[in-house]
Structure 1
């Protein structure tokens, strides 16, 4: 009797194992079939299998995780391609425009025999200005490329940020005075130190102040503020000009996006300045933020790590 029961148990165990193996094989066949139908163009394509087998469940979770990651990479690749197309198009436009103007000046100098010496000199001055504008655009483009590729190394060290901010604002003294723009400077008496790169911080401030003069000069005042908060050193640069609309706030840090989409000659820029600003700040382990209420206050605010965090 006992032997009979043992045989029955063995047979039932064998049948159970066969059933488990069959169900597992069936589940694996379903997974293979589902994978062959997955389209990586669709965010909703996943392996959807109801099973009590833990290992099969975990396998499905891992596969679905890889599908999600692959989809994100595909989206990122598509966005990069579109950004590259737009960038090339904008660079072509930004180079073609001054080139066309320069050719016009050259034609006048070559073929307009009625020009006086004074007029010829004026054309040469205009031509020189356009040449420098084009060189500046190309320099900014290559600078950004070097930063993003890692070819330009940003060495981080402890710095006296108070002195850097003072020097930056003083370097614009003549320009601000010529444009009759007042300056409000809020820097504590005690020097503030932070971790960063002097050349990078200076470049960031120069870009931000230049933008305030270009786009915020009608507010007739710009300002800069330096302060510490928790373990961060904050720098705010602001103006009270025309500001930046809600629709443009998320775009201003994009490559070749200019605040004036019509590219008005009075507000001409490369469209790379704020992209370079953001890249430099990120390289120094900081972040930059923007808050703007047109004709009230537009603030670019960024932080650096306090030297005490070393």
Structure 2
């Protein structure tokens, strides 16, 4: 459809206003006098042509008004109706086509706004659905350690554990379950914080190597219990980045905890870092079974656990990798999953050295 500017229609309207009365005048003069000779004195010879010219002027105004209604006012009224539909929550609106470029540009902007609102509403609905799913799943996960904790506490209260060894065992299990509960609650809190992104990050200079080393130290006991060898290959220079050190340490804790959890006894975990211009890259490679193709595509989804061997039996709420990815993305970086050519899972990521929110 060919489109014109409003000024083109304005010029055409002026031509019509100027031409149509003159055409009516000349035509009527010829009909009444059989001559178009002007300036000749004839009594009442111009009365009827003047009335015809006035009628032509009225007709010109009518035609211009009709076109203005069709080309300008009609589309604007329908856009106003569409705006009221959107305000009422109905985003399934049809906007009219028009040959006026200015109105068409407004229409295009309106459509962009409607499409943006539709995407925003879909994201909001997905987020709300995900939130309900996460809360339901975590509530389910909380029940298991709570029931176990209550059972062992009841056993202690009722005197089932009679020997010091039995009492020590019951207390150790209670401590383990309470720590599991603490991890679940902390996971839910961090996930919610990352999901809604309401809090500003406490950005400051931090050594990425120190953050990774703290995470390694915090999981030393778990790795020793499985006799896992942890090997580090840090870049020679100290990688200083702008980061929320507490959150980033939480992300690395989750990644390393995941590696320890799925590495077999006597296995190996390799942690590498390197500087790449204005960013720091890292990889965590474990000697476990690796990811299936489905897991590679979905491992960062909330509560996704994949294969049967990667399920609730290993502990956690299934939020660790999701939280780590969102923390790293919040810092301006990225995190991906894959498999090493020699076998085992690989988590690779990078962070900018100078990220500002």
TM tier relative to shorter chain: 0.7 to 0.9
RMSD in angstroms over aligned alpha carbons? 3.7
- Between the aligned partners of 1:267 and 1:198, the Cα distance in structure 2 is 27
Residue 118 of structure 1 and its aligned partner are, at CA, apart by: 3.1
2:299 is matched with 252
**Stretch deviating more after TM superposition (252-261 or 55-64):** 252-261
Q: How does 1:116-135 map to 2 (within 5 A)?
A: 116-135=163-182
Q: Are residues 1:182 and 2:225 paired?
A: no
- Between the aligned partners of 2:286 and 2:217, the Cα distance in structure 1 is 17
TM-score by length of 1: 0.80
Larger radius of gyration: 2
1:106 is matched with 153
Q: How does 1:4-19 map to 2 (within 5 A)?
A: 4=25, 7=53, 10=57, 13-19=60-66
Over 3 Å counting, the alpha-carbon distance change for 1:67 and 1:152 in structure 2 is closer
Aligned-partner SS, 2:327: helix
Over 3 Å counting, the alpha-carbon distance change for 1:194 and 1:26 in structure 2 is closer
- Between the aligned partners of 2:121 and 2:355, the Cα distance in structure 1 is 41
1:197 is matched with 244
Task: Structure 2 unaligned segments of length 5 or more: list them.
Answer: 1-20, 27-49
1:224 to 271, 288, 293: 271
TM-score by length of 2: 0.71
Q: Are residues 1:301 and 2:348 paired?
A: yes
Q: Deviations over 1:227-285 (max 9, x none)?
A: 12232211111213122323233443333444566885641113232233223223322
Q: Are residues 1:79 and 2:114 paired?
A: no
Q: Deviations over 1:80-134 (max 9, x none)?
A: 2211221121121011111112222234334465854433432232122212211
Q: Deviations over 1:1-31 (max 9, x none)?
A: 9794694885564244123223134444555
- Between the aligned partners of 2:154 and 2:220, the Cα distance in structure 1 is 38
Task: Structure 1 unaligned segments of length 5 or more: list them.
Answer: none
- Between the aligned partners of 1:243 and 1:41, the Cα distance in structure 2 is 47
1:91 is matched with 138
Task: Report how many aligned residue pairs link the two structures.
Answer: 307
- Between the aligned partners of 1:152 and 1:211, the Cα distance in structure 2 is 26
